[in-house]
Amino acid sequence: MTYPPSTSIVVEDVTKSFTLRYHRTLKQMAVAKMRGQEISNEFNALDGVSFTVEQGESIGLMGLNGSGKSTLLKLINGVMRPDGGQVLTRGRISGLIATGAGFHPQLTGRENVFLNAAVLGMSDAETRRKFDAIADFADLGKFLDSPVGHYSSGMTARLGFAVAIHVDSDIFLADEVLAVGDKPFKKKCLEKMQEIRDGGRTLFYVSHAAGSVRRMCDRVLVLEKGKLAFDGGVDEGIKFVKYDGGPDEEETAEDEDQGI
């Protein structure tokens, strides 16, 4: 099927399966088999998921833990391939789909900026040109020249997001990017993602926080046990997944009241 130039992402009848193993060693597996116990089980992380995203849309991807959200983002990003169906994207993809992904723990933050930028498709010259802006956004101070293996999860998220947000991309993916970090960092992240949205790029944002989804998105997809259970308006999607009025909503509302 041919899709119009305005189409950014196509997910068509996508299935992704994983094998859950109950025992770690061959001895444990052999004993379990002798006892007639299951040694593994295959499950569908995604099961027949289909949707289309137009260029410039801001999509909020919601659902309970284990519903398949991160798996879907990895398929869109090209980190994994579907077992069934197809995923099509148009243009360069950037974003933060896992804290610390693409970082080497023994290299410094400075060295990892160049490594991670290369993984995301930036040339060395482009990275050098944007390095000061990346370092300023990450705001790690002297820790920029310390090994990333010594960083906290919040510091790693700062560096990862700082690199990803400075990639010139057509699609930006963010998986729970606001789950770590302090309020000033979350504020900077939201402001940058709003710039992305307002600049006409496609935004795919995974979050449990209803307030930030309302601010950032114009459409919500909800996954339930690997299936697409809802595709529609933001308020309706939040009510469908029953996040409205929860702790994350209250925190985000408080932040907005304070201008964060």
Long-range contacts, 141-146 (Cβ 8 Å, 24+): 143/109, 144/108, 144/109, 144/110, 145/108, 145/109, 145/110, 146/108, 146/109
| Statement: residue 67 has pLDDT above 80 | yes
β-pairing verdict for 7-21 and 40-54: antiparallel
Give the per-residue pLDDT at 40. 57
How would CATH label the architecture of 56-84+92-257? 3-Layer(aba) Sandwich (3.40)
| Statement: residue 34 has pLDDT above 80 | no
Using N-to-C axis directions, what is the helix angle for 109-119 and 153-165, rounded to 10°?
Answer: 50
Residues 260, 255: Cα–Cα separation, whole Å: 5
Count CB-CB contacts under 10 A for residue 140: 18
Q: From 19, 26, 15, select the one nearest 41 (Cα to Cα).
A: 19
Place of tokens 């080497």: 104
- Domain ranges (residues) in the chain: 56-84+92-257
Give the per-residue pLDDT at 196. 86
Q: What is the pLDDT of residues 150-200, one digit of tens each?
A: 998 888 888 988 998 899 999 999 887 655 567 788 888 888 888 888 999
Q: From 151, 208, 203, select the one nearest 178 (Cα to Cα).
A: 208
